[in-house]
Amino acid sequence: MPSSTWQVVRAARLLDGTGAPPVDSPVVVVRGERIHGVYAGAGPEGLWPPDAAVLDLPGHTLLPGLIDAHVHLVLPGDGTPFETIVREPDGVLVAIACRNAQAALRSGITTLRDCGGMRDTTLDLRRARRLGYAECPRLHLCGRPLTITGGHCWYFGGEADGPDALRRQVRGLLKAGADYIKIMASGGGTLGTIPWRASYSADELRAAVDEAHRLGRRAGIHSLCAEATSNAVAAGADQIEHASFLVDATGRQEWDPRVADAIARAGIPVTTTLAVAHYVVDALAQPAPRTPEAQSALDRWRRMRDGNLDNVRRLRAAGVRLVAGTDAGWRHTPFDALVTEMELLREAGASATEAIVAATSGAAAAIGIGDETGTLREGMAADLIAVPGDPLADLGVLRQVTMVMHEGAVMARATPASAGTAPKSLRCD
């Protein structure tokens, strides 16, 4: 392999994404698109060619590229109503998705798990990426989410009722290239749906999950109420999205420890999506004075935000594995919101180390790509980021991404090397 495919990255410390203690003065050696080795100190002499590209990052921390485990690429995340944006033609939605994916990549997110898009638009974006026409993170896609007739996100084209129809939809999605299956087990933010009631029965969910498993794919299940979550556990879900405990239209939630214990016993990870209510509250709190209707909406979302934080706190205490996902695109949630999600996990009781694992190795393992990315070790994809300072002391430094490397390709804000440094070196001071 030509020496031009070798890169050497040096920094002050490294967090490998597993929760292990930091490595001081690390050297990460990249060959092509893969990590060749990770070392403390100078590394073995002669391990890489003398003319390999060197990136020196004094004072920085290296981490795996981040993973947002719940996004909707075709949605703008700017408060545009769902029912408005889905009227756009597929070409416009692909353009929106491309813009969103690039914003995520610039913020240090090298893998996006999309949880539902219009028809084949997200699959089209991935095809464009593979052909070299779009610079995007790795895309882990479900295509169209499965939903009852008129159910949550029915506009996307995945309506199916009854076990046989669900099995047919699963087969069609996998034929089209979906990486996993997403199922709406309750209503949601789509007009006319009921978030506090189950939509599919446990038998219907089981048919879809079984078909996905039979064909070698995982199934993620959206649930905003206890009944739907219980059905998801009974059906053998691989991942549960949100896992809220809504009981009525006011945003009120009632914690059910039996449901939490069932999730924990089954070992099913939950994607937290705390950022949604956070950003909605921020948006609704801006205009003042407010109409009675606007104040009522703000009060409802504040209840949702506080209830969601309390749920995640209790799920963690019950032993449920937590995965960081923002629901970016939905309502007011931007595509650089993952650090906010991690900070909200801290607010819910997680340590900084837990929050980082939830957005790196934990997320990768949950979605089934833990042998490809999510940790910094030999043989993994060369997905890594650099930030100034120590994220274990302050997760906020993750907003100051200096360098993003995705599959060996570097995006960096760097200054030219100082005199006396190797000619092919960059310094980020």
Structure confidence at residue 422 (pLDDT): 30
Which of these three, 323, 343, 367, is where a domain ends?
A: 367
Which ranges of the chain have pLDDT less than 50? 1-3, 414-429
Tokens 């995640």: give the residue: 312
Q: Are strands 415-416 and 425-427 parallel, antiparallel or unpaired?
A: antiparallel
Structure confidence at residue 418 (pLDDT): 27
Where in the sequence is the domain holding 20, given as residue range(s)?
Answer: 3-65+375-427
DSSP string, 313-338: HHHHHTT--EE----BTSTT--TT-H
CA 27 – CA 41 distance, rounded (Å): 7
Structure confidence at residue 43 (pLDDT): 73
Residue 288: how many other CB atoms lie within 10 Å: 7
Which pTM value belongs to this model?
A: 0.94
Structure confidence at residue 4 (pLDDT): 59
Q: For 60, which DSSP code?
A: E
CA 121 – CA 72 distance, rounded (Å): 11
CATH number of the domain bearing residue 12 = 2.30.40.10
Same domain, 220 and 110: yes
Structure confidence at residue 44 (pLDDT): 75
How many angstroms from the chain centroid is the CA of residue 51? 37
- Residue 264 contacts residue 257 (beta carbons within 8 Å): no
DSSP string, 162-190: SHHHHHHHHHHHHHHT-SSEEEE-B--SS
Tokens 């040096």: give the residue: 10
Same domain, 165 and 300: yes
- Number of domains composing the chain: 2
- Residue 73 contacts residue 117 (beta carbons within 8 Å): yes
Which of these three, 320, 343, 367, is where a domain ends?
A: 367
Same domain, 16 and 154: no
Tokens 């393992």: give the residue: 365
* 119 dihedral zone (left: phi>0; alpha: psi -120 to 50; beta): left
Structure confidence at residue 412 (pLDDT): 54
Bridge partners, residue 270, by sequence:
240, 322
Same domain, 236 and 124: yes
- Residue 246 contacts residue 222 (beta carbons within 8 Å): no
Same domain, 239 and 358: yes
Structure confidence at residue 416 (pLDDT): 32
Which of these three, 367, 395, 410, is where a domain ends?
A: 367
Same domain, 386 and 313: no
Same domain, 291 and 340: yes
Q: Which residue, 342, 333, 330, is CA-closest to 75?
A: 330
Same domain, 307 and 209: yes
Q: For 58, which DSSP code?
A: E
Q: Which residue, 150, 88, 160, is CA-closest to 117?
A: 88
Please state, in angstroms and as integers, the Cα–Cα distance from residue 57 to each residue in 9, 158, 176, 403, 427, following that order. Answer: 8, 47, 42, 9, 6
- Could you give phi then psi for residue 377, rounded to 5 degrees? -155, 165
CA 387 – CA 359 distance, rounded (Å): 15
Question: Residue 286 burial by CB count (10 A; 0-12/13-18/19+): exposed, middle or buried?
Answer: exposed
Question: Residue 251 burial by CB count (10 A; 0-12/13-18/19+): exposed, middle or buried?
Answer: buried
Burial code (b: 16+ CB inside 10 Å, e: under 16) for 363-397 equals bbbbbbbeeebbbbeeebbbbbbbbbbbbbeebeb
Same domain, 72 and 217: yes
CA 137 – CA 363 distance, rounded (Å): 15
Same domain, 310 and 380: no
Structure confidence at residue 121 (pLDDT): 98
Q: Which residue, 39, 65, 101, 5, is CA-closest to 377?
A: 39
Same domain, 23 and 132: no
Structure confidence at residue 288 (pLDDT): 79
Same domain, 362 and 387: no
CATH number of the domain bearing residue 92 = 3.20.20.140
